[in-house]
Structure 1
Amino acid sequence: MPLTPVLTARFDAPRSWTLETYERLDGYRALRSALEMAPADVVGLVKDSGLRGRGGAGFPTGMKWSFIPQPKPGEEPTGPAAAPKYLVVNADEGEPGTCKDLPLMMADPHSLVEGVIITAYAIRSHFAVIYVRGEAVHAHRRLMAAVQEAYAAGYLGSDVLGTGYDLELVVHAGAGAYICGEETALLDSLEGYRGQPRLKPPFPAVAGLYGSPTVINNVETLASVPYVVRGGAEWFKSMGPEKSPGPKIYSLSGRVVRPGQYEAPMGTTMRELLAMAGGVRPGHELKFWTPGGSSTPYFTAEHLDVPLDFDSVAAAGSMLGTTALMVFDETDSIVEATLRFTEFYAHESCGKCTPCREGTYWLVQILERLVHGQGRAADLDLLTDTCDNILGRSFCALGDGATSCIASSLKYFKDDYVALLPAEEQARLGRSLRLEPVGAAR
């Protein structure tokens, strides 16, 4: 069945990033509709649509908006309800293999800007920030230009479209730290501090940017909002499964014929996406793949028909994450790939939590021994033990993510690890050089 693009519909239009093209292709129509609604009704519409966060966690977007304390009608606001409300866009796309937000900001930045304005109006915010990854220089410039166009056209600033609603929007470039993709570390960075995760609670909805109620959403999430407003909740729910509806941008990279970004409804399978991408490169076969980036447990060929939505992927033992689908074939060493990912996490650990700071360092040392043929039989148990001492013991998910690729690689490909051990160490495991089938080991 042919797919009808939604989020990427403007990508191939001439000068798609300009306001002129955006308005010609129905841009800012949703904003006009939203401004005619009460803010609470916009929140209710997004709730009804079932839109879930596209940044990795998959939290219901409308529910997150509803957590912002609002003053009760006819009462003097007090406490958090009296504080200013802020909207922060997490555009710090840094997960290895992920490339969905940057193309969207490059090709169609006004869809994000329109989503920001609608969201800010819904949560009664008058100040919003788009936090862009520091290395994304071109996306930062394109967003800056789009915001300037929106100000000049009356979509931002004082008295937006003559409705009396005011909104200031700032595009902020970070310094290029992976940890700032974690929402509370991002807030610390915005406030001028070193980017490190905060202890929760309090959650950002109560005490976020500058201690005020704050909504933090991903780029793709907010770019979906104008389509929800224009099409309605039922239209949005007509795509994908009931609990994870809507369109999604999937990033395919690695050993495929045509790597790139592919838009399809939530719940599309990897087998279907591979068919769109021309399949695994000729003469080779799939060995393993990531459903949501390097911080999600690996999948194998047996998972090709798992629907790629939040609940189905979780039920199969992994996470949808950022839908960064990295494909590896039989020529790739899973141990070497896991070492590269682990080196990344050891480098990007902010150092705040001892299990993450020290644990990722030692994981790299163990994996390097194994890759260079200097491992010991005990290293396999040591890897598992070190992962167990990191998992669930850090302020944020970086530590947990660092253990995912290791634990899942040992689960599905332990024999690949054993094959790297010296012969005498293999003997200590009670194995011959003819190894057991994959999955037979612990």
Structure 2
Amino acid sequence: MDIATLIPTFGSAAYTIAAFIVALSIIVAIHEYGHYIVGRWSGIHADVFSLGFGPVLFKRTDKRGTQWQIAALPFGGYVKFAGDANAASVGKAAAADTEDGKPARNTMHGAPLWARAATVAAGPVFNFILSFLIFAAVLLFRGVASDPLTIDEVRPLPNAVEGLQPGDRLLSIAGIETPPLEEMNGYIASLPVEPVLDYEILRGGAERVVQGAYPEPPLVGGITPQSAALDAGIERGDVITAINGREIFAFSQLREAVGASDGQPLDLTIWRPTEDGQGEELTLTMAPKRMDLPLPEGGFETRWLIGISGGLYFSPRTVTPGPFEAVSYGVEQTVYIVRSSLSGLYNMAVGAISSCNLRGPIGIAQTSGAMASQGATSFVWFIAVLSTAVGLLNLFPIPVLDGGHLVFHAYEAVRGKPPGDWALNVLMAIGLALLGTLMLFAIFNDLFCP
């Protein structure tokens, strides 16, 4: 074997691992900082703030006496508060952290119940805040389509009719008045499926009719990680011109052909833009995969997919949205991910969808690399999605996780005393066993699910 052929593989693996570490480190840092800062505000002293586990690579102690450190294994982190016997905040306070035989006020065990509960809950809450801020920032960065709809860019297509130009105000397509961009999907479905349509535009103050391509061509706007398209080497900007030798010009035709494939391999003819503007043609073969897609109204739909999203023949001119719109969008996206995640877990539990939808660290790492390869915006968006998932997971009422600690605090609020050390140790062992089993199951899915 020529070692040169292995270099791209090693390079891709290193890129994937690096992207995974960056994404995870950001999410863990925000999560643990939530614990730290709310604990500090609540009067609980933090002895150690660590990113990673294992041997310490770097450390410094601040003026408050907290040791900030980076450890060798970058797959998590922790805050060890005063009085904790370990990083999981389990165990009695050390003798040095007691006053008259009782835990000191500035320790995790000596602080009031409200302070301990707030400190524990802050980690997941900060994950949700990170997600919300990223979603809002992405909307501010991308902008929203101007109203009325105005052309900003005409995307390159093979044999395209060059009728539309940047700056054209779009009035109608095929005689049907154009709606706002958010209603475009339903609008496009009402148009005649023809390779060339009439576009009524306003250009230079005068109305005119020009011809242009079907508004939603089989253009690759995005690629789903762990999909047939990604495995086959499809790239953003590619245009699929034929399937098994049959020419297509609309994304709906591609969707129908893939849905009817029953998983059989498809030969896709691809037109890929080049720097000289001529483009190149190539053929890629891929077998669609069965995927479970969340529905807006709840539940899931199972379909054959190759894992690409489409795009319009033109990109609209955008304007910066207002703060309220960005905030609303951030909240909406975060809530949607939480609801979809909970719905997915429920449907997996009852057997309505495949358990292969549950992925572990290998699958998450692969997704990290795939999203990073699609650009900074896609990667940052993925960090927001993963941060929401981490926050939600940590709220599950499993001992060891933050949700388990909150259950212990709720028990203390009702009974007036915390669970005994023996009960805590048993519950923690059960929690570790559950998490270990779940992790092994997820890794099994990473290795053996299609």
The TM-score normalised by the length of structure 2 is: 0.23
User: Greater strand percent: which structure?
Assistant: 2
